[in-house]
Structure 1
Amino acid sequence: MEVKKTTKADLNKRTVFFLQIGLILVLLLAYFIVQWRSYETAEINQDQFVTTPIEELEIPITILPTPPPPEIPVAPDEIKLILDDEDIEEDPIKSSEIDNEPIAEMEDIKEVKKVVEVETVPFILIEDVPIFPGCESLSNNVERKNCMSEKITKFINKEFNTALGSQLGLKGINKINVMFKIDTNGDIVDIGARAPHPKLEEEAKRVIQALPKMKPGKQRGNPVIVQYAIPIIFKVQE
Structure 2
Amino acid sequence: MTKQHIGILALLVIILPSCSYFDFSPDLRFCDDFYVVVEEMPVLIGGMAELQQKVVYPELARERGIEGRVTVQFIVNKLGDPTEVQMVRGIGGGADQEAVRVVKQAKFEPGKQNGKPVCVQYQLSINFRLEN
Compute the TM-score of the two structures, normalised by the length of structure 1. 0.39
Q: Secondary structure at the match of 2:72?
A: strand
Shift of residue 170, structure 1, vs aligned partner? 4.9
Q: Structure 2: which 5+ residue stretches go unaligned?
A: 18-23
Does the CA contact (< 8 Å) of 1:218 and 1:224 recur in 2?
A: yes
Q: Which residue of 2 aligns with 1:128?
A: 40
Shift of residue 115, structure 1, vs aligned partner? 6.1
Could you list the per-position Cα deviations for residues 124-144 of structure 1 after superposition, in whole angstroms to 9, with x for gaps in the alignment?
A: x2202334446xxxxxxxxxx
Change (3 A) 1:114 1:184: closer
Percent same amino acid at aligned positions? Answer: 21
Change (3 A) 1:163 1:199: closer
Could you list the per-position Cα deviations for residues 97-145 of structure 1 after superposition, in whole angstroms to 9, with x for gaps in the alignment?
A: xx7894452121355x5869764122xx2202334446xxxxxxxxxxx
**1:200 counterpart letter in structure 2:** A
The CA RMSD over aligned residues, in Å, is 3.5
Runs of 4+ in structure 1 deviating by more than 4 angstroms, as ranges, are 113-119, 235-238
Compute the TM-score of the two structures, normalised by the length of structure 2. 0.64
Q: Structure 1: which 5+ residue stretches go unaligned?
A: 1-98, 135-150
1:1-238 to structure 2, matched below 5 A, reads: 102-103=5-6, 104-109=8-13, 110=16, 119-122=33-36, 125-133=37-45, 151-152=47-48, 154-162=49-57, 164=59, 165-167=61-63, 169-171=64-66, 173-194=67-88, 195-197=90-92, 199-212=94-107, 214-235=108-129
More contact order relative to length (CA 8 Å, sep ≥ 6): 2
Structure showing the higher strand proportion among its residues:
2
Task: State how many pairs are aligned.
Answer: 117
Instruction: State the distance in 1 between where 2:78 and 2:41 align.
Output: 12
Change (3 A) 1:131 1:156: closer
